Structure 1
Amino acid sequence: MPVSPEYLHLVYPELAPFPALLYGRNSVDHTGQGSSVADQLHDGEALCEKYGWPVADTFQDTGVSASRHGKKVRKDFDALIKAIQEQRGRIVVAFEASRYYRDLEQYVRLRKACQQANVLLCYNETVYDLSKPVDRKLTAQDALAAEAEADSIQERNARTGRRLAEQGKPNGPLLWGFQRKYDENTGALIGQFLHPVHAPLARQAWTDLDSGKTLHSVAKWLRELGDEAARANGIQWQAQHVRAMLLNPAYLGKRTFKGEIIGDAQWPALLEGPEGEALFYRVKQRLEDPSRWHGKDAKVTHLLSRIALCGECGDHARLVMGKRYENKIFAVCSVKSDTALRKERLEAYVETAVLEWLSSPAARAAFFPESGERAAEAEKTSARLEKMRAQLREARELATKFDVETEDFFLSPMALAQLERTLRPKIKDAEEQLKGLTAGVPQTLQELILGSDPWAAWFGDEEAGQPGLSLEQKREVLRKIVTIRLFKASVRGVQKIEPGRITLSFIGQPGYVERPISLKEYARQQQEAAVTALTTAATRYRKASEKR
């Protein structure tokens, strides 16, 4: 039977003075109503002091769930199990059963450790000896109740999250760039609004990526801002944090649920209007481009490294920069090393040809065809999309209102479901169409094509105080507009740029490829070609045999 702490020394005199292992845990508690880990440990220390139990060690898991739904590892709980197994204490003390476990598997794990090490378990100011069947039964019942409560909380949170999503209200962690306001009396959420300091910085992140900067450089810039751009969780900005933010449609004022946009949000868009949407989808298109080099691109120090291709091997063979011949840097084929040219000569040739093309009518025609018609179509699609979204919002609202006279809802659940089935595909199609119409041209490329002097924009103008493009911006422009191929010289060792040795295929021209193919894709193409050739040969042989 369970024992009260005051009688413990009489029942188990051989275990005295009962060195205690204290454990505290809590989940994320946005309301501040739950018992904090510090409060739990304070109560445990007071209990130990009251009954003369020396505290041997303390363990705490903050912001970690004990249920099977939890995603974080309880490191201190694992350490507690190890301490029990090593008999570093004779009694384990916690605030209540649910602090230890909300999952039967974890209960069994703790029970087994205590039973084998002859360590007592204490919670709710009651001591249990898990070597006794009665105590095991009582603690198992508490474990079942804790697990059931955890499942109820999970279901309740899921329903709340779904309801808030349908209403377009915020839920969960605060988006960086926003702030929330609460009622001073009730603590209820009033709404989510743009943060006066963080919002402009967030917008700048999209602008920087659109201009050709990398995720790493934007993350570094945010880190250098210090407290001005600090994240709520205290974790420093890294490239993956910036990427997650830039791909989140919530910044367009859209509400998502389980990764899908389900309607408009009840907070202002950080990226407003058609221009904001165009900026968002340009950056999204760039970040999700499968041809982007995800290796160490942030540390690349050469303009054409892994952008230019080997014309001899094919579009899977990128040029890399390496030192050859008297420590000079050459662009070399990464597959066979069968083509090579001095880096400076290749870069000078490419930059000159690219800037001449950017100054030509061909560049304007490639990126700005029928710009007026495109803008009008985007505006028309946007208006149609908003009407469908408004119709769906109104229908959802009617489905929640009750007509006293007819004693029925203004819109039946079946009618709402039918409308949702009809409108959702149309809304999705309109969103995809709008993405294509508003994706547009990156800001840096617009300035190069439409500006008066692409050379000054590219290299900079010291007299006018105009900075040139950074290396990463230049690389992003090249990826967007041209496919560069390097071929062998007519005679081995010749470094002169002979006609046809470097070819540039600009967007819209024969030879331009949107992205180089991967080695895996190239191998698949080679395999398919071999199968086709073998099949053709077999067919010819069969036909020849039939004629004989």
Structure 2
Amino acid sequence: MTKRLVEGSPRRVVIYCRISDDREGKRWGVGRQEKVCRERAEHNGWDVVEVLVENDVSAFNGKLRPKYEQLLAMLRSGEANAVLALSNKRLQRDWRAAFAFLDLAEAQDVAIDTIKAGRYNLNTAEGRAQARRAAIDAQEESEEIGERVRDAKADNLAAGTYRGGPRPFGFEADGETPRSLLCPKCGATEGFSVERECGSCSAQAINAPGSEAWHVEQAMDTVIVNGSLRAACRDFKEAGVRTVARRFKQADGTRGEPESREWQPTEMRRLLLRPRNAGLIDHHGEIVGRAAWPPLVPEEKWRACKAVLENPGRRTTTSNARVWLGTGRYRCYCGEAVRGSTGGVGGRAKVGPTGKTWRPKYRCYTAKHVSREAASLDTYVVARAIARLSRPDAAELLLPPSPAAGEGEDLAATANALRAKLDGFAADYAGDLITRQQMLDGTALTRKRLEKTEAQMAVRASRSVLASLPLGTSEVEGLWPGFDLDKQGAIIDALMAVTIHPARRGRPAGFQPGSQAGYFDERTIEIRWKDHQGKLLPVDDSR
């Protein structure tokens, strides 16, 4: 039932506070809006019945504002008959919503007061007209701001310059100066061209060791080698490298003091996939040209990293770390992968000094076929891997041959030329030099060539995890325990395919009754080696 205003009684006011995106978190935060509105309510002699706070919600983009809808419901029901806000722009920036609000206020005898513009007078035609003009002006202001921002970004996009925003990791606040480059010849730390050429001695710059740019390159190398974002995050943590300081949103909707955080895999993925790392400009996910700043890494390396991260077959998980070396990697004879599980040890008499009645096992995902004691199987697989890596001819067997003379084509230059050609088709069509069909045909053909070139760049920059190992030496065995499970798994993937066959009847040869080991029979484990291209070699009869 609608409550009407009793003559002489104080109005029941709702204070409405909204912050669309107060990045400074200081000037007109929710706390200050509420404070000045309460002071105005006390001055007016009004009773505050509710304070509604809308955090990071725009009044212009048309999205639902739950607290604003609650305000309207309270006015319709008569629970409140007055509204207080910082300004009319806090209430609405869309003239349609404003007109509907004013109609409701007039019908329900609602008083509207704002700190910046004063009280609305809806009792006269002139007062209602002023209120509606203010709503139209507010929308016009929002639209003009949007147009200026879009135009500025379009100009920046055409020029390949920075389009604004928070400081990107690896760059200075201007978004275009790498943090930081170093000339290996003369030691210069500034004055480099877009091609990373030193202005003093014309030498090619490198990323200064320990700089943000250097850490970005190292993280890409880590991902290209073993595909692990967690490993890259661990490297950053050990080096004390944190995210760029940001003002994060607080509980009251304001922004706190600048704060940096440890890198998480999701943030690391976004960082490494940025086209700006390779000196490229993107628009709505499409590369549209070269940027006006020096790249942090060669385009080939960025594309190789991108290919790894966007590979549909890449393992992703929300767990903190890999627990099982063989999970999803070893295969059951049925073709399914195996998963980590546990199994009993066969009674209390076999528990042994650990006191555990179970031990880790690998099981077929179907739960119908093979099951093997995990530690014994991993030990066997690792021993075979180390033996293979330590062979004198390991490098010849496992690494691709060096590129022949004449294969050093500058793919980056080819890609840039093709992108320029695409721009040329549009310009020629606009100048009536070619027909629409000629433009479409030329664009389609050139795009295919560009996609092929980009794929070649990714392949050329990618390198096997085996290339980082001292192949053909005994050092591999000593280094292996220091590798995390992601790197160990990447090495196993590059070396072999492991298949588990059904267990044989009886105890395996050499089994000692009373030992803590399970019935592990290496004859049931099939290992097929891979060549440098990752292709399986013929079955190894020795298994």
State the TM-score, normalizing by the size of structure 2: 0.68
Matched AA of 1:499: R
Three-state SS of the structure 2 residue aligned to 1:192 is coil
Counting only pairs closer than 5 Å after superposition, residues 231-310 of structure 1 correspond to structure 2 as: 231-234=245-248, 236=261, 237-271=263-297, 273=298, 277-296=299-318, 298-310=320-332
Alpha carbons 2:391, 2:472 under 8 Å: kept: no
Matches within 5 A, 1:92-491: 92-103=83-94, 107=98, 119-123=110-114, 124-127=117-120, 143=135, 146-147=138-139, 150-151=142-143, 153-174=145-166, 176-181=168-173, 192-195=176-179, 198-212=212-226, 214-216=228-230, 218-219=232-233, 228-234=242-248, 236=261, 237-271=263-297, 273=298, 277-296=299-318, 298-311=320-333, 313-314=334-335, 316-326=336-346, 327-360=358-391, 364-365=395-396, 368-373=399-404, 377-388=407-418, 413=431, 421=443, 426-442=449-465, 445-448=466-469, 450=471, 452-453=473-474, 455-456=476-477, 458-460=479-481, 468-491=482-505
Deviation at 1:323?
Answer: 2.5
Identify the residue that residue 6 of structure 1 maps to in structure 2: none
Aligned residues: 463
Task: Give the 3-state SS of the residue equivalent to 1:263 in structure 2.
Answer: strand
Task: Kindly provide the amino acid, as one letter, of the partner of residue 244 in structure 1.
Answer: R
Deviation at 1:270, TM superposition (A): 2.0
SS in 1 for 2:486: helix
Partner letter of residue 290 of structure 2?
A: D
Decide whether the 8 Å contact of 2:15 with 2:48 is kept in 1.
Answer: yes
Contact in 2 for aligned 1:177/1:194 (Cα 8 Å):
no
Q: Is the 8 Å Cα contact of residues 394 and 472 (structure 2) preserved in structure 1?
A: no
Specify whether residues 231 and 31 from structure 1 end up closer, same or farther in structure 2 by C-alpha distance, changes over 3 A only.
Answer: closer
C-alpha distance in 1 between matches for 2:318 and 2:175:
41
**In the alignment, which residue of structure 1 is the partner of 2:82?**
91
**Partners of 2:220 and 2:288 in 1: how far apart?**
23
Aligned alpha-carbon RMSD (Å): 4.6
Quick one: which amino acid aligns to residue 335 of structure 1?
T
CA-CA distance at 1:116 after TM superposition: 8.9
* Preserved contact between residue 216 and residue 239 of structure 1 (Cα < 8 Å): yes
TM-score, scaled to structure 1 = 0.68
Distance 1:432 1:136, change over 3 A: farther
Deviation at 1:310, TM superposition (A): 0.6
Q: Is the 8 A contact 1:162 1:257 kept in 2?
A: no
Task: Determine if contact 2:502/2:524 at 8 Å carries over to the other structure.
Answer: no
Equivalent-residue separation in structure 1 for 2:31 and 2:65 (angstroms): 17
1:301 Cα deviation (Å)?
1.6
Which amino acid is 1:432 matched to? A
SS of corresponding position for 2:527: strand
| Residue type of the alignment partner of 1:292 | R
**Inter-CA distance 180–369: structure 2 relative to 1 (3 Å threshold):** closer
Amino acid at match of 2:454: E
Choose between structure 1 and 2: higher helix proportion.
Answer: 1
| 1:105–1:293 CA distance, 2 compared to 1 (3 A) | farther
State the partner residue of 1:4. none
Q: What is the CA distance between 1:257 and its match in structure 2? A: 0.4
- Report the equivalent of 2:203: none
Q: Which string of whole-angstrom CA distances, capped at 9 and with x for unpartnered residues, describes residues 14-34 of structure 1?
A: 375335433343544789999
String of CA shifts for 1:348-384, please: whole Å, max 9, x gaps: 221122223334577545654332239x535432333
**1:255: Cα distance to partner?**
0.7
Cα distance, 1:264–1:299 mapped onto 2, change above 3 Å? same
Determine if contact 1:303/1:474 at 8 Å carries over to the other structure. yes
Task: Determine the C-alpha separation between the residues in 2 that align with 1:98 and 1:307.
Answer: 58
Q: Cα deviations across residues 220-262 of structure 1 (Å, max 9, x unaligned)?
A: 6657888953542448443222211121221111111000111
Bigger mean CA offset, 145-154 vs 350-359? 145-154
In structure 2, do the counterparts of structure 1 residues 384 and 489 end up closer, same or farther at CA, with 3 Å as the change threshold? same
* C-alpha separation in 2, matches of 1:265 and 1:298: 36
Could you report, residue by residue, the CA deviation over 1:92-130 in whole angstroms, capped at 9, with x for unpaired residues?
222443322234675588669868976433343232669
What code does the residue aligned with 2:374 have?
K
Residue 201 of structure 1: how far off its partner (Å): 3.9
Q: Could you tell me how far apart the structure 1 residues matched to 2:375 and 2:274 are?
A: 40
Q: How is 1:46-57 mapped onto 2 (pairs within 5 angstroms)?
A: 47-48=40-41, 50-53=43-46, 57=50
Distance 2:107 2:410 in 1: 73
Q: Which runs of 5+ in 2 are unaligned?
A: 181-210, 249-259, 347-357, 509-518
Matched to 2:246, the amino acid is A
Alpha-carbon distance in structure 2 between the residues aligned to 1:477 and 1:121: 70
Asked if structure 2 preserves the Cα contact closer than 8 Å seen for 1:206 and 1:246, the reply is yes
Following superposition, the deviation at residue 85 of structure 1 comes to 6.9
Q: CA deviation at 1:297?
A: 5.1
Q: Deviations over 1:2-59 (max 9, x none)?
A: xxxxxxxxx9773753354333435447899997767766764564455444555544
Residue 308 of structure 1 and its aligned partner are, at CA, apart by 0.7
- The structure-2 alpha-carbon separation of the partners of 1:40 and 1:266, relative to structure 1 and needing over 3 Å to count, comes to farther
Percent of aligned positions that are identical? 21
